Amino acid sequence: MIINCVTSKIQMAYKHTQHGGDHEVACVNSTSDMIISALPSQRGWTTSELKQFQGFWLDDWVMPGVLSLQEKFCGKSDHVVLTSSPKSGTTWLKALLFSITNRSSYKFDDAVDDGNPLLSRNPHVSVPYIDFNATEHLDDPNPDLSLLSTHLPYSLLPKSMIESGCRFVHVMREPKDLFISLWHFAVELRKARDQPTLPLDDAFDMFCNGLSQYGPYWDYELEYWNASLKCPDKFCIMTYEDLMKRPDYNVRKLASFIEKPFTAAEEDEGVVEAIVTFCSFDKLSNLEVNRTKTSSLRKAHVVPNKVLFRKATIGDWKNYLIDKQRERIDQTTYQKFQGTDLLDLLST
Name the residues annotated as catalytic. Answer: 151
Residues 6+ apart with CB under 8 A from 200: 183, 320
φ/ψ bin of 88: left (φ > 0), alpha (ψ from -120 to 50), beta (otherwise): alpha
Residues 6+ apart with CB under 8 A from 168: 80, 81, 82, 83, 224, 227, 228, 234, 235, 236
Burial environment of residue 123 by CB neighbours within 10 A (0 to 12, 13 to 18, 19 or more): buried
Residue 43 pairs with which residues in a beta bridge?
A: 49
Say which DSSP state 209 is in: T
Letter for the amino acid at 330?
A: D
Residues 6+ apart with CB under 8 A from 158: 69, 70, 71, 72, 73, 75
φ/ψ bin of 270: left (φ > 0), alpha (ψ from -120 to 50), beta (otherwise): left
Burial environment of residue 183 by CB neighbours within 10 A (0 to 12, 13 to 18, 19 or more): buried
Separation of alpha carbons 286 and 263, rounded Å = 31
Separation of alpha carbons 281 and 311, rounded Å = 8
Backbone angles phi, psi at 106, to 5 degrees: -135, 155
